[in-house]
């Protein structure tokens, strides 16, 4: 469930554009106006505001924002204002260019989005960077990680609910055999994770647990510091229980030495219209405190205010 709160009566894109323009002119920027408008509009409404703003003032709203605000506040507002596909294309490019084995952003984009969303991201990536996402991932990763990530970002999974029980049992055995042999990059593991529908994978992992007595991710913790195994576990969590995966990302971002604002901004902006309510519930249960309180404690200023609006904080 989303946490975004849109008012019952929404001003027109023309009115919103005018108010944003007023926030940019004169001495200083009215950050409260930016927050009150953009943090309370859904994706379609934000898109119409950008279009209207450009038609009216001859400048991209994103460029105007970039001139007026900075730092973590700028980053989170820019991410939020972008369309989902544009945002994911930008995040994927950053992740590919700066890739290292512990970077799981490409896994998030490939596995925690719908097939249609990932396809739209690949189209947006080509339009923006004049290259394919697949070729950049292949160019900047290596070894087993390349073997895993290229098929994941290239995938177009079936999104329906149908499940083949016989196939689920067969592939559960195939996965167990490869894991027992520590053949973690086996082609069958990558084929199954890279092509099967989410519903089919849930059935396969349930059969794995029933047949072999352990959740598959527990068996993939055999070597806790192995970053390829960490990637496999992240793939599985993003595919079948994304709220648990993203709770961990948020927790790590907040609990580390200093807040990792990039991770926090990424999760809040990409999940606020999807399942951030479930992520908040998992966080509260896991940490015995509300995510709102944790964010308020670890962030400040306009950045804090924008995040709290997106997560549905009640004053």
Query: 299 — phi, psi (to 5°)?
Result: -130, 175
Q: Is 68 annotated as a binding residue?
A: yes
Q: What is the CA radius of gyration of the chain?
A: 21
24 is in an annotated binding site: yes
Q: Is 214 left (phi over 0), alpha (psi -120 to 50) or beta?
A: beta
How far apart CA 39 and CA 191 sit, in angstroms, is 40
* Residue given tokens 């509300």 in the structure block: 290
- Greatest CA separation for the chain: 68
- How far is the C-alpha of 285 from the C-alpha of 218, rounded, in Å? 21
**Three-state DSSP state, 120:** helix
CA distance 97 to 128: 15
- Is 26 within any annotated ligand binding site? yes
Confirm or deny that 16 is annotated as ligand binding: no
Q: Can you tell me the distance from the alpha carbon of 238 to that of 246, in angstroms, rounded to the nearest whole number?
A: 8
256 is known to lie in a ligand binding site: no
299 is in an annotated binding site: yes
216 is known to lie in a ligand binding site: no
Q: List phi, psi (to 5°) of 103.
A: -85, 115
Count the Cβ atoms, other than its own, within 10 Å of residue 108. 26
Measure the CA–CA gap between 22 and 293, rounded to whole angstroms: 32
Say if CB 103 and CB 137 are below 8 A apart: no
Does the annotation flag 135 for ligand binding?
Answer: no
Which residues line the annotated binding site? 24, 26, 28, 68, 254, 258, 296, 298-299, 304
Which residues line the annotated binding site for Ca(2+)? 24, 26, 28, 68, 254, 258, 296, 298-299, 304
């Amino acid at each position: 469930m989303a946490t975004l709160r849109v008012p019952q009566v929404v001003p027109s894109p023309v009115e919103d554009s005018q108010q944003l323009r007023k926030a940019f002119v004169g001495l200083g920027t009215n950050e409260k106006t930016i927050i009150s408008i953009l943090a309370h509009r859904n994706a379609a409404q934000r898109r119409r505001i950008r279009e209207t703003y450009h038609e009216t003032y001859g400048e991209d709203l994103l460029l105007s924002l970039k001139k007026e605000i900075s730092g973590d506040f700028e980053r989170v507002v820019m991410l939020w204002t972008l369309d989902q596909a544009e945002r994911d294309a930008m995040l994927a490019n950053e992740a590919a260019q700066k890739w290292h084995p512990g970077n799981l952003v490409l896994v998030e984009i490939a596995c925690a989005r719908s097939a249609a969303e990932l396809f739209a991201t690949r189209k947006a990536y080509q339009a923006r960077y004049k290259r394919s996402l697949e070729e950049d991932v292949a160019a900047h990763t290596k070894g087993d990680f390349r073997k895993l990530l290229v098929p994941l970002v290239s995938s177009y999974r079936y999104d329906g609910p149908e499940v083949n029980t016989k196939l689920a049992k067969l592939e559960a055995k195939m996965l167990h055999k490869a894991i027992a042999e520590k053949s973690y990059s086996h082609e069958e593991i990558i084929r199954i994770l890279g092509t099967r529908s989410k519903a089919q994978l849930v059935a396969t992992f349930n059969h794995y647990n029933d047949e072999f007595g352990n959740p598959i991710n527990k068996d993939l913790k055999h070597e806790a510091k192995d970053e390829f195994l960490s990637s496999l576990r992240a793939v599985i969590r993003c595919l079948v229980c994304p709220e648990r995966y993203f709770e961990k990302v948020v927790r790590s971002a907040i609990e580390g030495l200093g807040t990792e604002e990039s991770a926090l901004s990424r999760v809040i902006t990409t999940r606020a219209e999807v399942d951030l309510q479930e992520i908040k519930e998992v966080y509260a249960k896991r940490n015995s405190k509300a995510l709102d309180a944790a964010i308020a404690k670890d962030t400040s200023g306009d950045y804090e205010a924008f995040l709290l609006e997106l997560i549905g904080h009640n004053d």
